[in-house]
């Protein structure tokens, strides 16, 4: 297992290089930050200033050389220059990563727990009114644009705050800019209050698709011969559900969860934008607007690492949960 893990990590390195190289070419060709600099500033910068800017962001180098310099720089902790002066991309990235991780982790956890509960319930009560309702709500959530739901939820949060006269539900930012009483408890509740609405938003789509997945997996296992044999052995229904059906039905869900991480990161971008978090979402949108090549690359590199890591974790988890899979 350890040898397998090491091998997988080694194999992911060329994948990471190929992936970032393609992305780098795409990013470099997606806009011209130098022209942007020359035209958008008031007063218009001198030719020399434009040339200096181009040199500063390495826009005067050929793409392959730029990529090489970038990737070797990253290995030394240097993520390259930003179009914004005095911005340390590496520091910026990790500060924002911490903000986003909280949101993504909370949303995934809630989505997963609720999806298993509702999916299993739906499967056990197949074709009941509850099953139909859960299925319909699932379809509705899958069809709901995240940004639309987020705006709606934000409005609801504001309304609720007005009704209760509290400011518990934060609708702007990941925390209050300052706290009157700066104890750890206040800080904690403040964070929680700000986390609730964005988490619900981001959990929504994953919850819907994972519920449907759990239901289907559960139905398949419930119709399986080994569940029937377990019942024929005299095992009571509750134990058959947990020990035999759920235990096996959950195995493929780990893979599905891991593969969805890329789309969850996309959802986080939209969610953070609407709730005005200073996370990776804002970073991506700002970087794309200002055509900030190295900032975009930092974002995409981190997301690629996260996606690859999740795939690896899913595969390892699969081997732990399913004795039929052995990596040697």
Where along the sequence are the contacts to another protein (CB under 8 A)? 15, 18-19, 22-23, 26-27, 30-31, 139-140, 142-148, 151-152, 155, 219, 224-237, 244, 247-248, 251, 262-263, 265-267, 269-270, 273-274, 284-285, 288-289, 291, 296, 299-300, 303-304, 307-308, 311, 321-324
Report in angstroms how near the CB of residue 6 gets to another protein at its nearest.
20
- The residue (of 190 and 212) whose beta carbon lies closer to another protein is 212
Burial class (CB in 10 A: 0-12, 13-18, 19+), 204: buried
CA 147 to chain centre: 15
| Contact partners, residue 37, CB within 8 Å, separation at least 6 | 45, 50, 53, 83
101 or 285: CB nearest another protein: 285
Q: Please tell me the distance from the alpha carbon of residue 171 to that of residue 162, in angstroms, as a whole number.
A: 12
52 burial level (CB within 10 Å; 0-12, 13-18, 19+):
exposed
- Least distance to another protein, CB of residue 191, Å: 25
| 50, 85, 272, 290 from 282: Cα distances, Å | 27, 18, 7, 12
Minimum distance of another protein from residue 287's CB (angstroms): 8
**By C-beta, is 127 or 185 nearer to another protein?**
127
Q: Which is nearer to another protein, 58 or 191 (CB)?
A: 58
DSSP 29: T
Minimum CB separation from another protein for residue 106, in Å?
19
Residues 253, 207: Cα–Cα separation, whole Å: 12
> Smallest gap, in angstroms, from Cβ of residue 188 to another protein?
30
Q: Would you say 20 or 199 has its CB closer to another protein? A: 20
- CB 33, min distance to another protein, A: 11
Q: Please choose, from the candidates 275, 137, 263, 279, the residue with its C-alpha nearest in 3D space to the C-alpha of residue 206.
A: 263
The nearer residue to another protein, 15 or 64, going by C-beta atoms, is 15
Q: How near is the Cβ of 295 to another protein at its closest, in Å?
A: 11
CB of 280 to another protein, least distance (A): 9
Q: Angle at the Cα of 207 (from 199 to 176), degrees rounded to 5?
A: 0
Nearer to another protein (CB atom), residue 16 or residue 38:
16
Say if CB 153 and CB 169 are below 8 A apart: no
Cα 22 to chain centroid distance, Å, stands at: 21
Distance CA 246, CA 123 (A): 11
Tokens of 13: 């390195």
Task: Using the minimum distance from each CB to another protein, give the nearer residue, 47 or 324.
Answer: 324
Radius of gyration of the chain measured on its C-alpha atoms: 24
Q: Which of residues 114 and 219 has its CB atom nearest to another protein in the complex?
A: 219
* Minimum gap (Å) between residue 81 Cβ and another protein: 18
User: Taking the CA of residue 236 as centre, how many other CA atoms within 13 Å lie in the half-sphere pointing to its CB?
Assistant: 2
Alpha helix stretches (DSSP H) within 76-183: 89-124, 129-143, 146-164
């Amino acid at each position: 297992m350890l040898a397998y893990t090491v091998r997988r990590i080694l194999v992911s390195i060329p994948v990471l290089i190929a992936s970032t190289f393609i992305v780098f070419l795409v990013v470099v060709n997606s806009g011209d930050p130098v022209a942007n600099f020359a035209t958008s500033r008031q007063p218009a910068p001198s030719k020399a200033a434009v040339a200096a800017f181009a040199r500063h962001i390495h826009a005067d180098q050929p793409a392959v050389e730029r990529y090489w310099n970038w990737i070797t720089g990253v290995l030394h902790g240097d993520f390259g220059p930003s179009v914004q002066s005095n911005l340390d991309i590496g520091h910026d990235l990790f500060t924002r990563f911490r903000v986003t991780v909280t949101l993504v982790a909370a949303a995934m956890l809630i989505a997963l727990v609720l999806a298993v509960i509702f999916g299993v319930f739906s499967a056990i009560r197949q074709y009941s009114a509850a099953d139909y309702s859960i299925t319909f709500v699932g379809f509705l959530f899958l069809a709901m644009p995240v940004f639309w739901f987020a705006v709606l939820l934000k409005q609801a949060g504001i309304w609720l705050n007005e009704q209760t006269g509290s400011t518990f539900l934060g609708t702007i930012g990941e925390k209050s800019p300052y706290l009157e009483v700066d104890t750890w408890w206040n800080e904690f509740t403040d964070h929680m209050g700000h986390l609730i609405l964005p988490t619900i938003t981001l959990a929504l789509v994953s919850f819907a698709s994972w519920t449907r997945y759990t239901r289907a997996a559960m139905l398949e296992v419930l119709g399986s011969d080994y569940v029937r044999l377990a019942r024929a052995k005299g095992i009571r229904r509750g134990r058959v559900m947990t020990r035999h059906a759920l235990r096996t039905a959950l195995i493929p869900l780990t893979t599905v969860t891991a593969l969805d991480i890329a789309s969850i990161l996309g959802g986080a971008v939209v969610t953070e934008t609407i709730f005005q978090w200073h996370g990776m979402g804002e970073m991506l949108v700002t970087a794309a607007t200002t055509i900030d090549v190295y900032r975009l690359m930092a974002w995409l590199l981190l997301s690629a690492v996260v996606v690859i890591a999740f795939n690896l974790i899913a595969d390892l988890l699969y081997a732990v949960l399913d004795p039929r899979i052995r990596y040697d």
